[in-house]
Every structure is written in C-alpha cells, then in structure tokens.
A and B are shown apart, each in its own frame.
Chain A
Amino acid sequence: MKTLKSIQVVIAAVVVSIFFMSNQKYSETIITKISDSDSTTFTIPANIQTIIDKSCVMCHTTESKNFKGKTKLNFDKMINGSYSINKIASKLRKIDKVVMIKKNMPTKKFLKNYPDKAISDTDRKTLSEWALNENKKIKATQE
C-alpha cells in the first residue's frame, strides 16, 4: 500500500514536471554564441511564448511532423545555439514578414483544421514587434 502511494507520488511529480517543462519551453531563453568572443542574447518573453506555443509550435519545433515547416524555422534550434546569430536575425526578419506582411502563417489549412489556434491581429502585431526588436538588438551588438 505504501509503495503504491509512493509510486503515485513519483508519477504525479513526473507528470507535473513534464507539464511545467513543456510550458516553460520558450520562456526567457538566453543564447550565447560560443564561437564569438562577444556573446549575444536573444530572449523569448512569456507573452511571446504563449503566442508561439498556441499558433506555431505544431510545425516549427524539432518534434513537429511538418518536415518543411521545421527545416524552414525551428524554434528549438533558435534557442539551443544550433542557429548562428545571423541565422536567428534572418529568421526574426522573416517572422515579421510572414506574420504581418504576407500574413501566410499559420497556414490556411492549419487554421481551417484548428480554428482555436488562430492568431489574433493584436498577437500578430505583438509577435512582429518582438521579432523586429530582437533583430535590432542583435544588429546593435554586431556594430
């Protein structure tokens, strides 16, 4: 009985921590580029994380089944140091492009299948302003 209880506790702890970890995935992440002498930071604040988790994560992380989507943009690689600083800057520029100018992300088909994951106009603006601002920050460190 006692062992059963402790097993339950362990399982609960694991479930909670997995939940916590997955929720924390893109919060306040800092990247340091190892090959450069100067380190550049790149941040995804909680409000941006919420938008990405809702509308983009299904196609743009390492676990995504959307092969094309994740080769074009992989948020995991963006935060774990796999992308060079220039590549991060380029992808940030493109996020603004697809979210605000072309408005082709998330894809039409996705929005049809998952209407609850739609991105509001306010969120589009928030996401694009964040992307452009992070891009500017990176640029500033390179001058």
Chain B
Amino acid sequence: MMRILTITAIILLIGFILIQLYPVEKPAFVENNPDDLIINSEIPANIKSILKTSCYDCHSNETIYPWYSNIAPVKWLVYKDIIEGRKAANFSNWAKLSDDDKMDLLYDMAEEVQDGDMPMAVYIANHSDAKLDSIQKNEFSNWAESLADEL
C-alpha cells in the first residue's frame, strides 16, 4: 500500500516537472509605455486606481504576474487570457488609436463593467481588491461614457 502511494506520488511529481518544460510564450512586461491611457489623459484619481488594480494586468503591457501564474498548468490559462485581453484592448497603446476606436472601446468598457462582465470572475477570485462595488461600477461607467461622448 505504502509502495503504491509512493510510486503514484513520484509519477505525479515527474509529470508536474515535465509539463514545466512545455514551452509557452509569456506576454512581455514593458515598463515604459509612452502611449499609455493614464499618461496621456487627465483621469480622476479614483478611476486611475480602478484601471490600475482591476484592468491593467490583462489590458496593458504592465502585467504584474503573481508567482503561481508562472507555473504550469496555471500559466497556460493566465497567459492565454492576457494575450486575448491585450488583443481586445491594450491601454498601453491608447494614444495610437483613432478616435473611433477609442469611442467603441470606451462604450464597451462602460457596458461590461456595469454588467459585471469585467473584470473577469476568475481574476476577481484571485485578486480580491479588483472587485468593484456598485458605486465604483457607476463611477467607472459614467467616466468612460462621458469621455467617449466628448471625443
């Protein structure tokens, strides 16, 4: 009995080590982003802080990776979400967008945050400070809408 347990544990451990070797590309961290949304716009402090804590890990080049996010199989899921998140909206490239694209994104942001679709539930589960209460949701949506209305 003891032996079977030991062998299973060893097999699992070897498997765990082996999957670490499977190569996946990590979305790069870039420190200086001259086209960044926050750098290029005057944003109220409360909104800035929501953007940083609730959005920027997936929607900018300034992703902060928790230690467990670099270990397979978790990293496969995390990297995939970050790649998709940056593709849908990357605030590090904000100033390069046309006014039309900015507008479309801002209305999307207002709707998704208001509906609770963003930040993603799996992200909130691991980043409790990213969770937005209804006041923050309203503040954020109103800010995004009015910025889009003024463009």
A binds B: yes
Contact B104–A93 (Cβ < 8 Å): yes
Interface string of A79-108 (1 = CB under 8 A from B): 000001111011101100000000000000
Contact A71–B103 (Cβ < 8 Å): no
Contact B148–A86 (Cβ < 8 Å): yes
Task: Give A67 to B115 CA distance when docked, in angstroms.
Answer: 9
Residues of A within 8 A of B103 (CB): 86, 89-90
Residues of B within 8 A of A84 (CB): 145, 148-149
The count of A-to-B residue pairs whose CB atoms sit within 8 angstroms is: 29
Which of A68, A84, A89, A90 has most B Cβ within 10 Å?
A: A90
Question: A72 on the interface (CB 8 Å rule)?
Answer: yes
Interface string of B72-114 (1 = CB under 8 A from A): 0000000000000000000000000000100110010001001
Interface string of B128-150 (1 = CB under 8 A from A): 00000000000000000100110
Question: B151 on the interface (CB 8 Å rule)?
Answer: yes
Task: Give A84 to B148 CA distance when docked, in angstroms.
Answer: 9
Task: Give A39 to B45 CA distance when docked, in angstroms.
Answer: 34
Minimum CB–CB distance from A75 to chain B (whole Å) comes to 15
Q: Interface majority SS on A: helix, strand, loop or mixed? A: helix
Contact B111–A86 (Cβ < 8 Å): no
Residues of A within 8 A of B115 (CB): 67-68, 71
Smallest CB gap from B111: residue in A? A71
Task: Give A90 to B102 CA distance when docked, in angstroms.
Answer: 10
Smallest CB gap from A87: residue in B? B107
Residues of B within 8 A of A94 (CB): 104
Smallest CB gap from A67: residue in B? B115
Minimum CB–CB distance from B118 to chain A (whole Å) comes to 13
Minimum CB–CB distance from B28 to chain A (whole Å) comes to 29
Task: Give A103 to B149 CA distance when docked, in angstroms.
Answer: 27
Task: Give A85 to B145 CA distance when docked, in angstroms.
Answer: 12
Nearest first, the 8 closest Cβ-Cβ pairs linking A and B are: A84-B149, A90-B103, A90-B104, A86-B149, A90-B107, A71-B111, A86-B103, A86-B148
What would 10 more interface pairs be, CB under 8 Å, given A84-B148, A90-B104?
Answer: A67-B115, A68-B115, A84-B145, A84-B149, A86-B151, A87-B148, A89-B103, A90-B100, A90-B103, A90-B148
Chain B interface (Cβ < 8 Å from any Cβ of A) = 100, 103-104, 107, 111, 114-115, 145, 148-149, 151
